[in-house]
């Protein structure tokens, strides 16, 4: 079923007699039990004010349409949502509602924040078929509970988003990348931490033990006005004073392609195995990776996010004993999708679902 308006969506939810599986563009390839309802009928940008840096769109609007509209005005979604199709093998088209529901945030999260930090407001249908609006359409303080932040990362378990309001930012005049070749994982995490702790405003910090050229590469991104980026690149190079080979890259095509390679985890595309996404304290990352049987690794967020390509029988969570963090199965079978939550969080989550979805309709079993 594909409702075309918020009113139709609300009526559909009110009349539902059995569990519902919510779908956006299908780019993540998730399989959820229930009668399928797609949000793609709710399509279109309803308000865009470049001068106010705000955009409002219906939840089923393809992310590519939104990025095209922003690019025409020299603006962007600063939280850099990934395109997961190459990783999951899906042919779907990611929607803005799906991006918000997953709190989909790319390499720039380490400097500017996540998707939820740019969310100004949402409209959604709860489990009783009621339309709820929270937040606003402009950048101003809003009183009351911040349900918009709650919906980000809820994976459609609390309600069906129908509209989202977002803060956007201008594109930078220049992007520069400092590449360090040959560092092992431990040294790379130390360098990334030092770079992120510097005053030079690093907006991306990633490391691949095996990069596109076959050797370890550590990538540090700086963005802004050309004169500033040029100065900061050289200052960062001197600040790190690493024995590794250092290369500065400023080609727009190469820097864009390089960070897309990181953002979309292109290292894993077309390769067999389970894909895991692990969030930990950066200093714990190298030791944890050494415990896990894997075929490929990519570190992002300065080492706080680890992408792992593993054999299907490798249980990544069982290797996390003594390490605080969580592991999500992005692609594959044989394991729970989401990391089991502590008892206190389970009770909180159950309470929220009972409030927003008292009939237990939405994406049952997806998050436990």
What pLDDT digit, counting tens, does each position of 201-235 carry? 999 999 999 988 889 999 999 999 999 999 999 99
> CA triplet 6, 12, 17: central angle to 5 degrees?
155
pLDDT at 141: 47
pTM tops 0.75: yes
User: What are 335's two structure tokens?
Assistant: 């394991």
Copy the structure tokens of residue 294.
């894997």
Which residues neighbour 336 within 8 Å (Cβ) at sequence distance 6 or greater? 329, 368
For 127-145, write each residue's pLDDT tens digit.
Answer: 899 998 876 665 454 555 6
The CB density around residue 190, as the number of other CB atoms within 10 Å, is: 17
Determine the average pLDDT of the residues in 75-96: 89
pLDDT digits (tens, 9 = 90+) for 28-77: 666 677 778 888 889 999 999 999 999 999 999 999 999 999 999 999 99
Distance (Å, whole) CA 311 – CA 271? 11
All structural domains of the chain, each given as residue ranges with its CATH number in brackets, are 6-170 (3.30.465.10), 174-263 (3.30.70.2190)
Could you tell me if 324 and 291 are in contact, meaning their C-beta atoms sit under 8 angstroms apart?
Answer: no
pLDDT band at 339 (very low <50, low <70, confident <90, very high): confident
Tens of pLDDT, residues 158-195: 889 999 999 999 999 999 999 999 999 999 999 999 99
Check residue 214 and give its pLDDT. 85
Check residue 220 and report its DSSP letter: E
Distance CA 282, CA 271 (A): 26
Across the chain, what does the average pLDDT equal? 90
25, pLDDT greater than 80: no
Task: Indicate the DSSP class of residue 181.
Answer: E
């Amino acid at each position: 079923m594909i409702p075309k308006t918020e009113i139709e969506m609300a009526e559909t939810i009110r009349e539902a007699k059995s569990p519902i599986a919510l779908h956006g563009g299908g780019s993540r390839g998730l399989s959820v039990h229930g009668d399928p309802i797609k949000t793609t009928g709710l399509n279109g940008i309803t308000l865009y004010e470049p001068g106010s840096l705000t955009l409002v769109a219906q939840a089923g609007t393809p992310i590519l349409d939104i990025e095209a509209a922003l690019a025409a005005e020299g603006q962007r979604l600063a939280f850099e949502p990934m395109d997961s199709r190459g990783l999951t093998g899906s042919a779907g088209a990611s929607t803005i509602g799906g991006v918000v529901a997953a709190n989909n945030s790319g390499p720039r999260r380490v400097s500017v924040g996540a998707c939820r930090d740019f969310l100004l407001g949402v409209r959604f249908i709860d489990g009783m078929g009621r339309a709820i609006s929270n937040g606003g359409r402009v950048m101003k303080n809003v009183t009351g509970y911040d349900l918009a932040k709650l919906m980000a990362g809820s994976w459609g378990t609390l309600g069906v988003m129908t509209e989202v309001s977002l803060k956007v930012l201008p594109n930078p005049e220049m992007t520069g990348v400092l590449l360090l070749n040959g560092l092992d994982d431990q040294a790379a995490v130390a360098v990334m931490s030092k770079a992120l702790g510097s005053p030079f405003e690093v907006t991306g910090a990633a490391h691949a033990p095996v990069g596109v050229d076959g050797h370890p590469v550590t990538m540090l991104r700086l963005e802004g006005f050309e004169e500033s980026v040029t100065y900061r690149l050289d200052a960062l190079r001197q600040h790190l004073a690493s024995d590794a080979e250092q290369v500065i890259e400023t080609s727009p095509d190469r820097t864009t392609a390089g960070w897309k390679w990181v953002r979309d985890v292109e290292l894993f595309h077309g390769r067999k195995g389970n894909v895991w996404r692990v969030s930990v304290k950066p200093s714990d990352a190298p030791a944890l990776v050494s415990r896990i049987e894997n075929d490929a690794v990519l570190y992002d967020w300065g080492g706080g996010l680890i992408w792992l390509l593993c054999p299907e029988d490798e249980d990544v969570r069982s290797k996390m004993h003594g390490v605080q963090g969580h592991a999500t199965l992005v692609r594959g079978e044989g394991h729970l999708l989401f990391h089991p939550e502590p008892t206190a969080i389970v009770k909180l989550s159950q309470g929220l679902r009972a409030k927003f979805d008292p009939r237990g309709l939405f994406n049952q079993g997806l998050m436990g």
